[in-house]
Structure 1
Amino acid sequence: MDISQRLTFFAALFKVDENPNLGMWMLYLTILLLSVIVYKLGFAKKLPLGKSILIYLFLGLGCTFLSFLGIFLPIAEGLVVAALILIIYKLRLRSHKNQEMDV
């Protein structure tokens, strides 16, 4: 069985099997960026600077592990879906609040 057939969309897009160094960095940065977006849209609260730095540090460390899983499991794809759902939720919430203020 060819390993390139088992890669997820983003792992195949970044050619992790052909160029592992650059491909893994690109996959890591993609997962990190998507994780930050999902965190900011769904879970972030106003925190002091030190606590925010600590949260993003642990988020980056967790994304290191997730990037290795993201080669064969749809981690980045799931984060894209979560980000889209949260974006739609935030837009509808803003629309609903604007309608309430108009009435």
Structure 2
Amino acid sequence: MVFDYVFEVNGTDNIFWIFYVMNLILLAIAYQLGFAKKLPIGKNIIVYILLMIGTFVITIFSTVMQMPTIECLIVIILVLGIYRFRLHRERKHRKEVKEENV
């Protein structure tokens, strides 16, 4: 679905780089929502460099093999976002209950 839309709008000009940037942004958001921990700046830079390299491989799947990676990443972000929201609410509720008991 996304591939067809981008192909219609832009044609074949720079389609790989368009998908690379889209995948990189979505992968960075998914990483932040689901897997990121507080790291020193040097290690954080290394993680994002490796993420950029991995995005290259995923972009090949998106463009050459026309797999729905962007659609899957959007679903992953939605699920992780819902999980983080519910986790935040649960922690807030536990904190309120704990304060009431004190």
Matched AA of 1:101 = K
Which structure has the larger Rg over C-alpha atoms? 2
Q: Which 5+ residue runs of structure 1 have no aligned equivalent? A: 1-8
Other-structure match for 2:100: none
Q: Give the CA deviation at 1:87.
A: 0.1
What CA distance in whole angstroms lies between the structure 2 residues aligned with 1:68 and 1:21?
A: 16
**In 2, Cα distance between the equivalents of 1:13 and 1:62?**
24
Considering fraction of residues, name the structure with more helix: 2
| Paired residues, number | 95
- Identity, in percent, stands at 33
Alignment partners' CA distance in 2, 1:60 and 1:38: 13
What displacement does 1:92 show? 0.4
User: Within the alignment, does 1:30 sit opposite 2:44 as a pair?
Assistant: no
TM-score when normalising by structure 2: 0.83
Work out the CA distance in 1 between the residues paired with 2:95 and 2:38.
25
Task: Name the TM-score, length of structure 1 as normaliser.
Answer: 0.83
Indicate whether 1:73 and 2:73 are aligned.
Answer: no
